[in-house]
Chain A
Amino acid sequence: MALPPPDPQFVLRGTSAAVHTLHFSCGGQEPDFPILFSGQSGFVHVWNLKTRRVETALDGHGRKSVYWVETMGAKDRLLSQGRDQRICLWDLAEGRTSVTDSVFTENVGFCRCSLLKVAQERWLMAMATKALEEVQVLELPSKTSVCTLKPEVGAKLGMPMCLKLWQLDTGSQPWLVAGYEDGSVILWNLSMGKVWSQLVCHQEPVMSLDFDSEKAKGISGSSEKVLSIWSLNEQQNLQVYKTHELINSGISDITIRSDKKILATAGWDHRIRIFGWKKMKPLAVLDYHTATVHCVAFSDHRNPSERLLAAGSKDHRISVWSIYAQT
């Protein structure tokens, strides 16, 4: 007899706008408090998860929507990407809230950037640029361009919709998996700056994807009813592994937990679905929100039993769940 799905552990209110992106930063040493960053219209809110209140509100994008936040290393350095075509780097140490640097992407799309740490104090960030189909990879904090990934002429991929930089282990060559508007997923080889493999996964634009570099398997969701799971074979070519039918169409975000055991999808049908990553076994359907869920994020707590899942939705709420934290 299966248990009914759990209720959220707590729900954060007070954003007064649809929540577009979430990022946890809980791995710090005590006496730091765990933090959740949420991006919505105009502000990035820094939530204190112990008091469950907003600590600070960062206003750096001129009241335009923020649709990506990620920390660079420690939680006092934050990147945020907004609809004002800028990516801002914030310095949040010791109570400051100032933008120390920014990158002007000139991109009017919605493609979230991807950040990868390649060495101590060196990051790679992939972002969509002004040209419609291009992805540019920058090295941070120097902001030098590593390469520009241009699909060949006539490929008709459309805009890049989602990006994921990965490398097999620190020091090996980085790769980029990108999902495009025409439904295909492309594996880019960054050292050569060329397409390594391409796979058409969906009929509709790829809304979100995530990749597990250990198992060389990734998952992508789009606006249709199918989740597509693909893998890399020995020659690093993409091939379809399996597909999973959903009950309602539309996925806005997918994320795999850091222990690679479960993954969460944020759906347009207001529900968060949890699957087992190994075999895509459906595990739970979390039904709390009353509007489409825009983003899901897993926390990076060091202590496994404290791990959380957060989901931000158009109904201005962020629900935080504790699910499958014992394993």
Chain B
Amino acid sequence: CSLPGGSDCSVSFVSQVVGKVCVHGGQKDILGVLVPQLTELTQSDCIWQRICWRLVESVPDRWMEAVLLGFVQSAPGADALSRLLGNLVVKNKKAQFVMTQKLLLLQYGYTTAVLQNVLGYLSLDNLRRALLIKVLQELLETWGSSSAVRHSPVEQQLYISKAILICLSHLKEPEIESCRQELLTNMMAGVKCHLDSSLPQIRRLGMIVAESVSVKINTDGPVLKFQYEEDNETQELKSLLVQAPQHCVVPSLADNRNERAEAALPGELEAAEKPQTATQVVPEEESDTELDSDDDLVPYDMSEDKEIKSTKAPVYIRDCIEVLTGSDDVHKWDATIKALEGLIRKNPAATREVSVELAKILLHVEEKSCIEGFAVLRQKAQVAVLTTDPIPVAQYLTSQFYSLNYSLRQRMDILDVLVLAAQEMSSPKFYGKNKPSNAQKPCIQLLPESNSSKDWRKIVDERIKSKTRRFAKGRSQAETDAGPNKFNSVAGHFFFPLIQNFDRPLSTFDLLGEDHFVLGRLVHTLAILMYLAASAMVVTTMGKALLEFVWALRFHTDAYVRQGLLSCISSILLSVPAAHLLEDVAEALVETQCWLADVVEKDPDGDCRRLALQNLLLMENLKKKLETAPS
């Protein structure tokens, strides 16, 4: 748009054009041309700024939203937006609503850059800063409300968290002073709701926002600090707290060259440092290129070379039990824990005699000394005991799961051990692992077989290979040895006790009440056990029981539990033979299908919706298979 310079013309016509185009969806096209030019023109020229402000202010209210959204998305930065819009948000009610409420709280689809633009724009003028504080308070209230945490999708919570962090980064000291107390109360209430959630992502968001708020309001004195796993998301969120110096992306403008030159300088300094480290590395590598006549000395196998331990590990299972229950000798205890899994696997008969006792000890044993990986070692030993003597130990463990006076951690450990053992027993490759391959050096070395017997096979194979034309190479993986699926016979012992008592609350353990996290884990465990029991005899009975269980819990409020329930349905559909399903539980399946359709449309959690959709597809496939099968 090239207005003849200086003449007095009305911009309201232009505003209307812009407004109409934007409302009809042409935001990108028209603003893609307008905004860069306007940004450039308003850079230094006040008159152009005023023209621009008049332009946006004259847009009729019914089209204001579309225009504003377009501007906010295409503006290259918060200060550009500020120049383009002026104090529109203060003067125009509709604009204020769009910028402070609609963009931030009522939807969550825009990028972080848009958030930066909006909130930066609000912070750049004193008139607008009051709005910024109001926005922050509203955001924090929404963030902290427990119903929002439980029912709104993860993406929306992420969006609000980002907005909060950006607001915090813009606030100045005196402003924080004025609303310190409110920020604190909101933050404390909010962090509690977040930490209660079963989804790890929500917990992390809560922790990061709480940490950031605490840093801002307690500049001196102890700040809140949480421990969580860092990854790209957390890095991104934390980076929002620090405002980077704004540099415009519009090319070929004289001012920006300075900014970019400054930004380039730090980059150059970094690059200059790198060659120094590189030159240090090079001399070492050069010496390696000397001719090496040592290469013809072939090293022997040195895998048996281990550190000498001063205490010997016990060699008998019963000795291990003695050490774990009685002994005070820390070194012996260490050596026992490390050796236990191996011993259990090598002495199955001896283990079977004391299996339940060993399981009991392992469930209760606590870390006495700081050895690395204590939890892993203990879990491996427990899995070994369970796979060696599945039925009694499974009975013991499942009964303990529902007993009094265990910590949540112990109950979840029981579930983990059951799953790992089930996986091991149903997987063929573990069958071959138990052969002691080259554990001890043979004292007498067998003479190598005389060449003739092995070679003929090789020669014949070669000849066949050279004569056959292959069209496609199949998978060249060696075939694993087949072995019987040990899980089939004990699947019921693992599964049914776990599913029986879930609705009976104990004084210290209430699955349906507070301990919904454990319920979620239980449901996931049942799904895995169901899946692994695909070829067991009791699979149909299991499937029926699980379907009833899922039906009872299907409206649970916790998203993690719902995800588990949907996984259970998947497992049932995959494991129970289709014919049995249709025979026994046809009506239940139809009801389940209705429920799944409901979940796909209305469940707030994205993962739940996805799982429900997968289940519906599985059911469709099942039906198709049955229709085409000759019966």
Q: Which residues of A contact B (CB under 8 A)?
A: 2-7, 247-248, 261-262, 269-271, 276-279, 281-285, 287, 324, 327
Q: Are B302 and A2 in contact (CB under 8 A)?
A: yes
Known: A278-B294, A279-B294, A327-B296. A285 touches B304 (CB 8 A): yes
Q: Judging by beta carbons under 8 Å apart, are B294 and A276 in contact?
A: yes
**Residues 256-306 of B contacting A (Cβ, < 8 Å):** 292-294, 296-306
Give the chain B neighbours of A327 by CB distance below 8 A: 296-297
CB of B308 within 8 A of chain A?
yes
Is A271's CB under 8 angstroms from B297's CB?
no
- Chain A interface mostly helix, strand, loop or mixed? loop
Q: Is the CB of A282 within 8 A of B299?
A: yes
B116 to chain A, nearest CB (A): 51
Name the residue among B298, B300, B443 with the largest chain A CB count within 10 angstroms.
Answer: B300
Q: Is the CB of B302 within 8 A of A248?
A: no
- Identify 6 residue pairs between A and B in the complex whose beta-carbon atoms are under 8 Å apart, listed by A's number: A3-B298, A4-B300, A248-B308, A261-B297, A278-B293, A284-B299
18 additional A-B pairs beyond A247-B307, A282-B299, beta carbons within 8 Å, are A2-B298, A2-B299, A3-B298, A5-B300, A5-B301, A5-B304, A248-B307, A248-B308, A261-B293, A270-B308, A276-B297, A278-B293, A279-B292, A281-B299, A282-B302, A283-B297, A283-B298, A283-B299
Nearest chain B CB to A278 CB, angstrom units: 4
Q: Nearest CB to that of A278 among chain B residues?
A: B294
Determine the chain A residues whose CB is within 8 A of the CB of B307 once the complex forms: 247-248
CB of B7 within 8 Å of the partner chain: no
Chain B nearest Cβ from A182, distance in angstroms? 27
Q: Within the complex, what minimum Cβ distance (angstroms) separates B520 from chain A?
A: 45
Specify the chain A residue showing the minimal Cβ separation from B438.
A4
Counting CB contacts under 8 A, is B24 at the interface? no
A324→B299 CA distance, assembly (Å): 10
Nearest Cβ in chain A — how far from B392, in angstroms?
40
The chain B residue with its CB closest to the CB of A273 is B305
> Would B294 and A281 count as touching, CB distance under 8 A?
yes
A269 to B305, CA, bound (A): 10
CB of B463 within 8 A of chain A?
no
Mask, B549-564, CB within 8 Å of A = 1, is 0000000000000000
Q: How far is the CB of A254 from chain B (nearest CB, A)?
A: 18
Counted as pairs of residues, one from A and one from B, with CB atoms less than 8 Å apart, the total is: 63
Chain B residues within an 8 Å CB radius of A269: 308
Complex: chain A residue closest to B442, CB-CB: A4
A5 to B302, CA, bound (A): 7
Report how far A85 CA is from B394 CA in the complex, Å: 71
Find chain B residues with CB under 8 A from A5 CB: 300-302, 304, 441
Chain B residues with CB under 8 A of A278: 292-294
Q: Within 8 Å CB of B438, what residues of A?
A: 4
**How many residues of chain B are within 8 Å of chain A by beta carbon?**
20
> Which residues of B are found within 8 Å of A262, using beta-carbon distances?
297
Given the complex of chains A and B, what is the CA–CA distance between A4 and B293 in angstroms?
A: 23
Q: How far is the CA of A4 from the CA of B296 in the complex (A)?
A: 17
Contact of B301 among A3, A277, A279 (CB under 8 A): A3
Closest 6 CB pairs of A and B: A2-B301, A284-B300, A276-B294, A285-B305, A5-B300, A278-B294
A242 to chain B, nearest CB (A): 10
For the complex, give the distance between the alpha carbons of A257 and B303 in Å: 25
Is the CB–CB distance between A4 and B301 below 8 Å?
A: yes
**Contacts of B300 on A, CB cut-off 8 Å?**
2-6, 283-285
CA distance A295 to B476 in the complex (A): 50
Which B residues are in CB contact (< 8 Å) with A284?
299-300, 302
Interface centre among B298, B299, B307 (most CB of A within 10 A): B299
List A contacts of B445 (CB < 8 A): 7
Q: How far is the CA of A278 from the CA of B294 in the complex (A)?
A: 7
Could you tell me the distance between the alpha carbons of A271 and B302 in the complex, rounded to whole angstroms? 12
- Give complex CA distance A248, B307 in Å: 6
**Least Cβ–Cβ distance between B437 and chain A, in angstroms:** 12
Task: Pick from B297, B301, B307 the residue with the most CB of A within 10 Å.
Answer: B297
Q: Which residues of A contact B296 (CB under 8 A)?
A: 327
With both chains docked as a complex, state the minimum distance between the C-beta of B396 and any C-beta of chain A, in angstroms: 41
Closest to A262 in B: B297
A271 to B441, CA, bound (A): 15
Q: Which residue of B lies closest to A4 (CB)?
A: B301
Q: What residues on A are CB-neighbors of B441 within 8 Å?
A: 4-5, 7
Give, as a whole number of angstroms, the nearest-CB distance from A62 to chain B.
Answer: 36
Q: How far is the CA of A276 from the CA of B296 in the complex (A)?
A: 10
- In the complex the two chains form, is A324's CB within 8 Å of B301's CB? no
- The CA-CA distance from A284 to B305 in the complex, in Å, is 9
Contacts of B292 in A (CB 8 A): 278-279
B293, B301, B306, B443: which contacts A247 (Cβ < 8 A)?
B306
Could you tell me the distance between the alpha carbons of A5 and B438 in the complex, rounded to whole angstroms? 13
B299 touches A261 (CB 8 A): no
In angstroms, Cα B307 to Cα A79, docked, is 38
A278 to B306 alpha-carbon distance, docked (Å): 25
Bound together, the chains give a CA A261 to CA B299 distance in angstroms of: 13
Once bound together, how far apart are the Cα atoms of A278 and B438, in whole Å?
Answer: 31
C-beta contact mask, B437-466 vs A, less than 8 Å → 1, else 0?
Answer: 010010101000000000000000000000
A107 to chain B: closest CB distance in Å?
A: 32
Query: B422 CB to closest chain A CB, in angstroms?
Result: 34
CA distance A324 to B298 in the complex (A): 9
Q: Given that A2-B299, A3-B300, A281-B299 are known contacts, is A247 also in contact with B294, CB under 8 Å in the complex? A: no
Report the minimal beta-carbon distance from A71 to chain B, rounded to whole angstroms. 28
Most A C-beta atoms less than 10 A away, residue of B296, B304, B305, B443: B305
Is A261's CB under 8 angstroms from B301's CB?
A: no
Residues of A within 8 A of B306 (CB): 247
Q: In the assembled complex, how far is the CB of residue B189 from the closest CB belonging to chain A, in whole angstroms?
A: 55
